[in-house]
Structure 1
Amino acid sequence: MDAAQGLPDGATSSAAGRDITADVIRAVAAMAKLAPREITGTTRFRQDLDFDSTNILELLMRLEAEFDIEFDPDTFGAGTFETVDGLSSYVRETLGG
């Protein structure tokens, strides 16, 4: 954990100096009604947070609004949204970072 920022190790900045992983963690934590510190990059949506497809769709819609992007369902790979790190990487790639 990066004690200075209170973020998981490996949380990286991207487009416009944003910390994509931290932003994704905050969105996930808000939906799961947890503190951001309780979410890590390895947190699994279905197994750890009990998210169903509706929760994941809602999360994607939040992130689209947050980052002003649109996810292309044709680029979703198996396991893309299995973990917070996977989703963060996908957001980073979508942003071109």
Structure 2
Amino acid sequence: MYDAREPYDRQNLTTLTTRTTHHPRHPHLRGPHDLMSVRTPVHLSLQKAGTIMTTVAQDTDRRQIIDAVVAALSDVLRKELTDVTEETRLFDDLSLDSTSVLGLLMALEDALDIEVDPESLEQSHLESVGALAGYIAESR
């Protein structure tokens, strides 16, 4: 019979599994590998919490990247940018040219401690603030 007061012992897994096999709450267990695959509500809650924490961290990281892009744009264009969003187009809305794009990329490299790979940078990455932030987030 399973004794819940016994500590979990990975080296003695066979004994623990044999005892657990006869436990009324776990009659489906048949071997050592079955014991490891049991999913309890606690395990599922931890998985969900990990997913949520990862999503929050990614959102926070993206927000920081967008803030850095806006700050770098403000420096390059030498004006305060107050209404810039992720949808703001770099060339059409902000009137960037090729020289200012180089300045923007160098400012972002310094601000975010990254290196932009010119081989992987495409025109689509420079369409909007959000597209550039997405490129930077992927290349990190």
Q: TM-score, normalised by structure 1?
A: 0.73
> Would you say the 8 A contact 1:29–1:39 is kept in 2?
no
User: 1:12-91 alignment to 2 at 5 Å?
Assistant: 12-14=59-61, 19-91=64-136
Question: By how many angstroms is 1:37 displaced?
Answer: 2.6
Structure 1: unaligned runs, 5 residues or longer: 1-11
Question: By how many angstroms is 1:36 displaced?
Answer: 3.9
Question: By how many angstroms is 1:30 displaced?
Answer: 2.9
Specify the structure having the higher radius of gyration (Cα): 2
Q: Would you say how many aligned residue pairs link Structure 1 and Structure 2?
A: 83
Structure 1 segments (4+ residues) deviating >4 Å: none
Percent identical among aligned pairs is 34
Question: By how many angstroms is 1:78 displaced?
Answer: 3.1
Question: By how many angstroms is 1:82 displaced?
Answer: 1.1
Higher relative contact order (CA 8 A, sep 6+): 1
> Would you say the 8 A contact 1:81–1:87 is kept in 2?
yes
Question: By how many angstroms is 1:64 displaced?
Answer: 0.4
Q: TM-score, normalised by structure 2?
A: 0.53
Is the helix fraction higher in 1 or 2? 2
